[in-house]
Structure 1
Amino acid sequence: MINFNGNIVAQDDNVLTQNRAFLYGDGVFETLKIVNNKILFVEDHYFRLMASMRVVRMEIPMNFTMEYFEEQVLNLVNQKNISGSARARITVFRNDGGLYLPKTNEVSFLIHATALESTFYALNTAEYEVDLYKDFYVTKQLLSSIKTTNKMINVTGSIFAHENGLANCILVNDTKNVVEALQGNLFMVVGKKLITPPVSEGCLNGIMRKQILALSKKITDIEVVEEIISPFDLQKADELFLTNVITGIQPITKYRKKEFTSNLAHLLVQKLNESISEN
């Protein structure tokens, strides 16, 4: 038996006591966007999930192919009668048993899905102010580049942003360089140069980050580079924007006293939607 919120209940009534993702953050996940019964960038999501499982030494089930992965997600979306666009999350966690040292590396998975209002990506041009979050730092290591269920920095950073009337916060690493935002990768435009921090700085190896890098390299007169960004560089930028699979591109309108344009962000959203329509 366990004590749950002051009530003594049977342990079987609370499966979280046996869930290693809950107990130790022993899980990895992918957040997906589904449009017209199709998972966007499905190959990229699948291979990142497989790579994440290998990094944390989970045993990959023999039946966990990309086709199985896609079938399971879409089956849930269809069972919930979600049409148009949906957001889904698949969480893979090590099976119960053990303390820090697990008794098995076998895994289970959980998928949930919700409907989205918009089918294609649209640029939100409303005021979007950000600032640095410096209470905790992202470490420059491989674990920082994958999506694990340990997201305490993102949680506490989101609370900080809410308490200070900010739309988002920018995270820094243990060498005080800019890494990413709470909910996405960061891009900076300076003149004709598009810059984003390299994954080696500790940022997430984002799926939308990959798409934006590829699309930007096809634009004439835009130099695309992955290089270190300091907090001081942000105030020299002409444009700042964030990227993730659900939102697409989110322009930052203000960082401290500096306000920004969103010209390249507009162009990239258009090209992003064109690439989705073609595939």
Structure 2
Amino acid sequence: MINFNGTIVPQDTNVLTQNRAFLYGDAVFETVKIVNSKILFLEDHYFRLMSSMRVVRMEIPMNFTMEYFEEQLLSLVNDNAFAESSRARITVFRNDGGYYLPQTNEISFLIHVVGIDNTLYSIAEKEYEVDLFKDFYVTKQLLSSIKTTNRILNITASIFANENGFDNCLLLNDSKNVVEAIQGNIFMLMGNKLITPPVSEGCLNGVMRKQILEIAKKITSLEVVEEVISPFDLQKADELFVTNVIKGIQPITKYRKKSFDVVMSKVLLEKLNEIVRVI
């Protein structure tokens, strides 16, 4: 028997009592965008998930191929009639048993999906204000670069942003450098130089981050680099924007007293949509 919200109930009525993702955050996940029954950037998502599982020493089943990964996601999307445009999340967790030391490295997975409105990426014409989040810091380590279910820092930062009327917050690492936003990677344009922090700084190894780097490097007028961004650099930037695979590109229009252009954000967004149209 267990106590659930003040009521004594049989333990087997609550599947979370042994679930390691719930008890210990012993899980990794991928969130993908699906357009017209095609997973955008499928290979990048699959290989990042496999890499994440290896990092935390999960046992990858022999049948967990990219084709299997794709089939499982699309079957649920089609069953829910969300094939035109949707976001799906697959969470992979270590099977029940043990405390900090698991009894097995075998895994199970859970997929859920919701429909979204737009097939192509777009930018809303409205102010988007951010500030720094200084209560907790991202550590410069490999675990910070993968998507585990331990996102308590991001959750706390989201609450801080909401309480203070910001649309997002920028996260700092333990060297007090800017590494990412709450739900995406950060890019900064200074003149003709486009900068994003290297993964070694502790930022997520984002799928959309990779796409934007590849697109930007084809623009001959741009110098594209992975460099440390300090909080002082933000005030000197011409543009700031956040990237993730669901939103695409989200321009930041205001940071403290500084306002930013969105010109390069729109250029990159159009080139990103050109890729989406042919996937």
TM-score (norm 2): 0.99
Shift of 1:277: 1.5
Alignment partner of 1:92: what SS?
Answer: strand
Large movers: runs of 4+ above 6 Å: none
Residue 174 of structure 2 aligns with which residue? 174
Shift of 1:270: 0.3
Residue 267 of structure 2 corresponds to residue 264 of structure 1: no
Letter aligned with residue 137 of structure 1: Y
Q: Distance in 2 between matches of 1:81 and 1:214?
A: 33
Residue 238 of structure 2 aligns with which residue? 238
C-alpha contact 1:125 1:251 (8 A) present in aligned 2: no
Alignment RMSD, CA only?
A: 0.5
Q: Distance in 2 between matches of 1:22 and 1:234?
A: 37
1:159-209 CA-partner distances (Å, limit 9, x unpaired) = 000000000000000000000000100000000000000000000000000
1:129-185 CA-partner distances (Å, limit 9, x unpaired) = 000000000000000000000000000000000000000000000000000000100
Alignment partner of 1:22: what SS?
Answer: helix
1:113-144 CA-partner distances (Å, limit 9, x unpaired) = 00000011011231100000000000000000
Residue 16 of structure 2 aligns with which residue? 16
Size of the alignment, in residue pairs?
A: 279
Letter aligned with residue 65 of structure 2: T
1:97-108 maps to which residues of 2 (within 5 A)?
97-108=97-108
The sequence identity of aligned pairs, in percent, is 74
Residue 73 of structure 2 corresponds to residue 66 of structure 1: no
1:16-165 maps to which residues of 2 (within 5 A)?
16-165=16-165
C-alpha contact 2:137 2:171 (8 A) present in aligned 1: yes
Residue 168 of structure 2 corresponds to residue 197 of structure 1: no
Q: Distance in 2 between matches of 1:135 and 1:228?
A: 20
Alignment partner of 1:100: what SS?
Answer: coil
Name stretches of at least 5 consecutive residues in structure 2 with no aligned partner.
Answer: none
Name stretches of at least 5 consecutive residues in structure 1 with no aligned partner.
Answer: none
Alignment partner of 1:165: what SS?
Answer: coil
Shift of 1:220: 1.8
Residue 224 of structure 1 aligns with which residue? 224
Letter aligned with residue 127 of structure 1: E
Letter aligned with residue 233 of structure 2: D
Alignment partner of 1:179: what SS?
Answer: strand
Alignment partner of 2:131: what SS?
Answer: strand
TM-score (norm 1): 0.99
Shift of 1:278: 2.4
Q: Distance in 2 between matches of 1:208 and 1:64?
A: 23
C-alpha contact 1:192 1:223 (8 A) present in aligned 2: yes
